Structure 1
Amino acid sequence: MSGTSQDADVDTEARELLEKLVSIPSPTPEEDECAAALAAFFEAHGRDVFIDDVGNVRAPADDSVLYTSHVDTVPGDIPVRIEEGERGPELWGRGSVDAKGPLTALAVAAVRTGMSFVGVVGEEVDSRGARYLVEERNAPAAVVNGEPSGSDGITLGYRGILSGTYRCTSESGHTSRPENNAIQEAIAWWSAVEDRFGDGGEDVPIFEQVTPKPVSVEGGVTADGLAVETTLDVQLRVPPRYSTGDVKALADAELEAGTVTWTDAVEPTMQSPRTPVARAFRVAIREAGGDPRLLRKTGTADMNVYAGAWDCPMATYGPGNSDLDHAPNERLELQELDRAVAVLETVAEELS
């Protein structure tokens, strides 16, 4: 494989960049310092690079494929260190898997192959970087989005997400009264929503189910003692057989009291395994000695945003075990990073 390492199996350049980026905390929306370090990497390799109005790191070049991943992480302080694991050295630290490992692999491969690259901001909260990108530039010929899939995995599907806030107010009264107060109305609505979508059963994969999840709740008697108020923030993950509009209509149909304000909607996506991007990954993974695996993820990623705006083939790929996303023991096997860079270089050659 190409690289600056003396050992052909160890990609020293990629490992050093990963450690540098993981050592710079970048919880949303505090990505500036890490973004600057990423931009400096491209500048050091003679690439044109700039940071756009929302903070994305942009290195435009060959648009045969756009390599992109996110700079931000969830909060959490995990001391950055390299420890010996079962299969070799592992780099510990917040973001090592989600998604500075994929970000590093894509950046290094983009530099070596001359492909376009964007390090986006805000993925962990509202995908503000990806949303800005699709509004500001035309579609590339193909997209590879960076998230952990393992060096042999290719993610082709993500569920969408529908987010909203339920609010209800009722008159205050003695708790012995039979009428529902606002708290009970919130519970009743959410219970009806859960029953509506129900448990798909053991024969239905989670990817194909709507998953309702309350994320925060507040309620009680108002300060003046005259009313009971409740606020319930909710999210519903949406499989490709539904649109977010379908799920919204079904949830609204269960509403008997209070109001729901739907605050965000990102459509699900399921890419074909027969696109040029998927084929290129299968070739590249086999060349690297791996056995390609096609994946569907139950969450939502920036690929959903790209798929909703750009009519081009795409996939998500990157080193790392996604079970360690956001975890207190987040760490990346460095040999996974090495293999992922090699795979991405071959993918670029296949698509260029």
Structure 2
Amino acid sequence: MSDKIPSITELLSTLVSCPSVNPGERLHWESPYGEARLAQVLQDLLRPWADSIEIDEVVPGRPNLRALFRGRADGPKRALEAHLDTVDIDGMSIEPFEPELKAGRLYGRGSADTKGPMTAMLLALIRAKAKGIKLNGDWTFIATCDEELGARGARFLIEQGFCCDGIIVAEPTELELIDAHKGVERYRVEITGKAAHSAYPELGLNAISALADFIGRLEAMSFPSTSRPDDDTLGPITMSVGVISGGDQVNRVPQTAHAEIDFRIPPGAPETAIGELLAQAAHSTRQSRPGIEIRWEQTQHYPALHPQPDSAFSETLWQLAKEHLNARKFSRVRYATNAGFYSAAGIPSIVFGPGSISEAHTAAESIEIDAIEQAASFLEKLITVPAH
């Protein structure tokens, strides 16, 4: 790309038209899966503007990108982060990678989550550089892989020793500043029973029936809420069974069954809470169904984001947001983001961006162009006003 400043529509259309669907556990993939193509697009876009660009391969074919924009040498070192990947396109009612502008909104996969918020970050940096404005410190733009299904990009960044004085994580927050959110623990549960002819079910142990029993016992439990009174807005632990499989043919009592379960955990909840709930449900299921085996393993974990009200970064953001976004308070949400990983590593972290989470992952995903302009203007002020 050239050193011409793109419009919001031009830049977002470029990002949306570059497929970057998370491949999940696929061992081999081609378009629309994988983030490498989008990382290359960003590298070409930022080459005229950034002081340095690095691409780190997290796993084969799935990179992170880091672009450094130097500012005042005596200023803080901060970062803007957005994830490269999107969810899959199954069931979409629009063309996912043919962006369409209609009634002030741009439609396409990833437009809200999170290429629209990414566009705001990129334009804030590019516009400031084009105007010749000295940034108030060093700012690093980071694009991570795999946020949707495991966050290997964010984990890699922390494992490699990345640190800064504050980071904004791009998500569609409706221009609200998010200082706390739930964490996620995901588990794969395996039930083993005993196969038998379906004409003689009493000779077998039905793994699917046992799995249904196990799930029912879990759902009937009273999930603990947070131990922090200031986090009650996030509610208690919740669970959702997202995947179930089992059996191999209709005339055979199934020997195995599996479920994938998603738990959302508020800040301050006991670290052992989910393991204890699973153990209780397993114990009572085994008692009622002797001979059934139940095993589980954690497949994914996203830390909760804890509020950090005393950080200089939060204070700077808050003062700007009151003035330019009419903000009245920090907000808290039930979904998880990469911010939990950065906060756990000691980096003051805030989630922010245009668009609505209600548009994310939908069949006709879209974002309002005017909201991206508001976010870009706010972020440009953040990176150029004198730092505290």
Q: TM-score range by the shorter chain?
A: 0.7 to 0.9
Select 2:102's aligned residue among 70, 83, 87. Answer: 83
Match of 1:314 in 2: 349
Match of 1:182 in 2: 207
CA distance in 2, matches of 1:15, 1:350: 30
Aligned pairs for 1:278-293 within 5 A:
278-288=314-324, 290-293=326-329
CA distance in 2, matches of 1:347, 1:125: 30
Distance of aligned partners of 1:91 and 1:73 in 2 relative to their CA distance in 1, 3 Å threshold: same
Aligned pairs for 1:141-290 within 5 A:
141-151=165-175, 153-173=176-196, 174=199, 177=202, 181-197=206-222, 207-220=234-247, 228-256=255-283, 257=286, 258-288=294-324, 290=326
Deviations along 1:64-83, one digit per CA (max 9) or x if unpaired, are 21111111111224341111
CA distance in 2, matches of 1:18, 1:346: 21
How far does residue 221 in structure 1 lie from its aligned partner after superposition? Answer: 5.5
Does 1:59 pair with 2:78?
A: no
CA distance in 2, matches of 1:160, 1:350: 34
List alignment gaps of at least 5 residues for structure 1.
Answer: 6-11
Q: What is the alpha-carbon root mean square deviation over aligned residues?
A: 2.8
Distance of aligned partners of 1:181 and 1:192 in 2 relative to their CA distance in 1, 3 Å threshold: same
List alignment gaps of at least 5 residues for structure 2.
Answer: 24-33, 71-75, 90-94, 129-134, 226-230, 287-293
Distance of aligned partners of 1:208 and 1:36 in 2 relative to their CA distance in 1, 3 Å threshold: same
The percentage of counterpart residues that share the same residue type is: 22
How far does residue 52 in structure 1 lie from its aligned partner after superposition? Answer: 0.9
Structure 2 counterpart SS, 1:58:
strand
Match of 1:25 in 2: 19
CA distance in 2, matches of 1:219, 1:289: 51
How far does residue 144 in structure 1 lie from its aligned partner after superposition? Answer: 0.8
How far does residue 226 in structure 1 lie from its aligned partner after superposition? Answer: 7.8
Distance of aligned partners of 1:116 and 1:73 in 2 relative to their CA distance in 1, 3 Å threshold: same
In the alignment, is the contact (CA less than 8 A) between 2:208 and 2:254 conserved in 1? Answer: no
Match of 1:50 in 2: 54
Aligned residues: 335
In the alignment, is the contact (CA less than 8 A) between 2:205 and 2:253 conserved in 1? Answer: no
Structure 2 counterpart SS, 1:157:
strand
CA distance in 1, matches of 2:9, 2:387: 25
Structure 2 counterpart SS, 1:270:
coil
In the alignment, is the contact (CA less than 8 A) between 1:222 and 1:228 conserved in 2? Answer: no
How far does residue 15 in structure 1 lie from its aligned partner after superposition? Answer: 3.7
Aligned pairs for 1:323-334 within 5 A:
323-334=358-369
Distance of aligned partners of 1:350 and 1:275 in 2 relative to their CA distance in 1, 3 Å threshold: farther
In the alignment, is the contact (CA less than 8 A) between 1:244 and 1:266 conserved in 2? Answer: no
Structure 2 counterpart SS, 1:254:
helix
Mean alpha-carbon deviation: is it higher for 135-144 or for 289-298?
289-298
Structure 1 counterpart SS, 2:85:
coil
Match of 1:120 in 2: 144
